[in-house]
Structure 1
Amino acid sequence: MIVCQCMNIRDTEIRAAMDWMRAADPDTIITPGKIYRALGKRADCGGCLPLFLDTMATTESYEVPANLQNLRDRKTRRPVNEGR
């Protein structure tokens, strides 16, 4: 199925790009921009973005790596006040 008519991107190409990115770097965060770049294309009108995101969400390799999940919940060090 064609997801992006402007750039002629199919759902199979999106899934293949995601699988390739995950295989190359298991800890990567996959975004639509990274997929466009991996396919050598650019977003044009943005009308496809909802379908593009739905396609990404239904792909197994979309999952956020375990070591990067819940980063907001982890306690972080408070920045040192430098008197500014």
Structure 2
Amino acid sequence: MIVCHCNAISDRDIHAAMDWMRAADPETIITPGKVYRALGKKPDCGGCLPLFMDTMGRSDSLEVPLILRNLRRTQPGRTAK
């Protein structure tokens, strides 16, 4: 399914880019901008962003890496809000 008509990006392209980023760096935070850059594209009108984000949300690669979870609670000298 085409997600971004301006750049002809499909849901498969998004998932493949996310899987590639996660394999290349297991600790990376994946954002829509990083997906666009990984595909060699730039966002244009932004009309696709809700569908783009929904497509990203369906990928297992989107999870925050374990090492980056709960950082606020584990830093000494800081109190959690």
Give the TM-score, by structure 2 length. Answer: 0.89
1:49 aligns with 49
Which protein shows a greater Rg? 1
Question: C-alpha root-mean-square deviation of aligned residues, in Å?
Answer: 1.3
Instruction: Provide the identity percentage.
Output: 68
The aligned length equals 78
- Aligned pair in 2 of structure 1 residues 5, 74: CA closer, same or farther (>3 Å)? same
- Aligned pair in 2 of structure 1 residues 4, 74: CA closer, same or farther (>3 Å)? same
* CA shift digits 1:14-68 (9 cap, x unpaired): 0000000000000000000000000000000111011101110100111110110
Give the TM-score, by structure 1 length. Answer: 0.86
Secondary structure of the equivalent of 1:41?
A: coil
Q: Give me the whole-angstrom Cα distance separating, in 1, the residues matched to 2:50 and 2:73.
A: 28
